[in-house]
Amino acid sequence: MHDGTPSSHTPPADVTQRLGYRLKRTAAALRGAMDKALREHGLTVPQYACLELLDQHPGLSNADLARGTFVTRQSMNTVLRGLQDTGLITRPATTDHGRALPAHLTEQGHHRLTAARSAVYAIDQRMTQAVPARRLAQFLADLDHMTAALEE
């Protein structure tokens, strides 16, 4: 656990042995597996993430969805238009609450999400099983600590 004191540990000179490289390689492998699985359901990773968030929190705005899916507002606008054009979400043309247009899943959106969810959960399970069960809680805590250290 990081206690805020400077580390005397020197990172390896070989970039492929550095923590950041390993995290990026894992993230790329996860994204590739998800891209492949979601393609069979006619979804992209950002679209799937958006559907998951809307299932858990109906009525989120573009800005909320962008934050929750780690994309820009502009990218989320494109994602939302695509989901709306394919009938997976609805958004009002205008709103009384300022500029935010709350999005909601349609029945078709719920069905598509349910179908895709099992594929995504299977990928997550494969990744989780690669970490010994006795170390999983600490590993997740370590990831949270790394995130917090970078957000300081």
Domains of the chain and CATH, by start: 18-151 (1.10.10.10)
CA 8 to chain centre: 34
End-to-end Cα distance, the chain? 15
**In terms of DSSP bridges, do strands 104-105 and 89-90 run parallel, antiparallel, or are they unpaired?**
antiparallel
Instruction: Give the span between the Cα atoms of 116 and 67, in whole angstroms.
Output: 22
φ and ψ at residue 71, rounded to 5 degrees: -125, 170
Residues whose CB is less than 8 angstroms from the CB of residue 15 and which lie 6 or more positions away in sequence, other chains included: 21
Instruction: Give the span between the Cα atoms of 62 and 41, in whole angstroms.
Output: 23
- Specify whether the CB–CB gap between 89 and 83 falls below 8 A: yes
- Alpha helices, H only, the chain: 19-39, 45-56, 62-69, 73-85, 107-129, 133-151
What pLDDT score does 92 carry? Answer: 84
- Specify whether the CB–CB gap between 34 and 120 falls below 8 A: yes
List the pLDDT tens digit at each of the 152 positions of the chain.
455 555 567 777 888 889 999 999 999 999 999 999 999 999 999 999 999 999 999 999 899 999 999 999 999 999 999 999 999 999 887 766 566 778 999 999 999 999 999 999 999 999 999 999 999 999 999 999 999 999 98
